[in-house]
Homo-oligomer: A and B are copies of this chain.
Amino acid sequence: MRLAVIAGDGIGPEVVTEGLKVLREVAPDVEPTHYDLGAMRWQRTDELLPDTVLDELRGHDAILLGAIGDPSVPPGILERGLLLRLRFELDHHVNLRPARLFDGVTSPLADPGPVDMLCVREGTEGPYVGNGGVLRKDTPQEVATEVSLNTAFGVERVVRYAFERAVTRPRKHLTLIHKTNVLTHAGGLWSRTVEEVSAEFPEVTVAYQHVDAASMFFITDPGRYDVIVTDNLFGDIVTDIAAAVTGGIGLAASGNLDVSGTNPSMFEPVHGSAPDIAGQGIADPTATVLSVGLLLEHLGRTEQARKVNAAVAFDLSTRSPQGPVRTTDVGDRLAALASG
């Protein structure tokens, strides 16, 4: 397995080290190549993602990413120039974010009940395209725009993927989240696409919710959701709500998938570089390890993925609740469990 590793900034390298530790236990054939990208490289060289590096990345089976971001860099530079550029150039149109409340994990909700949802967030369109601009900057007449682009091609492929996942799950339920009553242009495309594709999946029941209503139900009744499909921006928000109710961003894994297989998919914890705790060895690497689980699943290494996920589930069920975490301890424990 040729694996490109972008450890990145802040706690990125710390959690990636543990992710690789666990990965090596279950997949001894992994050949990691490290790429130095992120805030430090940009500070040093002004480079974000050189084309030659992008080309090299394309030659791998998958990418493992830690975290990108540093307070010394103005907002948008690293996000648009590196993280989002990777997602867009590598056509990561499915941003996959499971949210499951593991046994032993404390939810901030008083009575969460069982939660096991799979958010399928579109990854290459919507308001994330960077379209828009600024006119008369820094004057009282300034106008700034952001354009959300949505194509039948882009919406259809992510909706189809969501149905394909839903049909394999026990509840076979899919919820579209959008804001069709206000964003009528894009909302119409999303609604019609879900309706059309649903005809091919008669076993899947379909629901629709406005993003504001869904944001409430994620809190008052998260157990009602099975698979969710939504656009890039709404997905950014609701997956963080889902992460919060299932124990926080320390456990939230994600995969940026090019489902066609043309480009390597990229796996990353949902959390950021957390500069406030970087270097202290107290970042929870669990989200990275779960992202490794998604990576293995994506590569069809089902048994290896099962081992990683089972290790995490067992570890969480026996961890002292909300106790302090030592990054390397968690990694050591998970590696030992996964190898067993």
Contacts and interface: CB of A to CB of B under 8 A. Distances in A.
A233 B76 contact: no
Contacts of A215: 215, 237-238, 240-241, 244
Interface string A144-184: 11111111110010000000000000000000000111111
21 contacts: A79-B181, A108-B219, A128-B182, A130-B184, A132-B186, A133-B185, A134-B189, A138-B192, A141-B151, A143-B149, A143-B151, A144-B185, A145-B186, A146-B148, A147-B148, A182-B236, A211-B236, A215-B240, A215-B241, A216-B240, A220-B248
A219 B133 CA distance: 33
A133 B141 CA distance: 25
B249 A216 contact: yes
Contact of A145 (B111, B130, B147, B245): B147
A209 B145 CA distance: 20
Contacts of A199: none
B146 A233 contact: no
A216 B139 CA distance: 34
A247 to B, nearest CB: 10
A184 B128 CA distance: 10
A1 interface: no
A182 B68 CA distance: 14
Given A147-B148, A216-B243, 17 more contacts: A75-B181, A76-B187, A109-B110, A134-B189, A143-B150, A144-B185, A144-B186, A145-B147, A146-B147, A146-B186, A179-B236, A182-B233, A211-B236, A215-B237, A215-B240, A215-B244, A220-B244
Interface of A: 75-76, 79-80, 84, 107-111, 127-128, 130, 132-134, 136-153, 156, 179-189, 191-192, 211-213, 215-216, 219-220, 233, 236-241, 243-245, 248-249
Contacts of A240: 212-213, 215-216
Nearest to A243: B216
Contacts of A180: 75-76
Given A138-B192, A216-B244, A243-B216, A184 B145 contact: no
B143 A76 contact: no
Contacts of A192: 138
A215 B211 CA distance: 12
Contacts of A138: 192
B148 A142 contact: no
Contacts of A143: 149-152
A137 B188 CA distance: 10
Contact of A182 (B84, B141, B151, B216): B84
Nearest to A149: B145
Closest 7 CB pairs of A and B: A142-B152, A76-B184, A212-B240, A216-B244, A144-B189, A146-B148, A110-B110
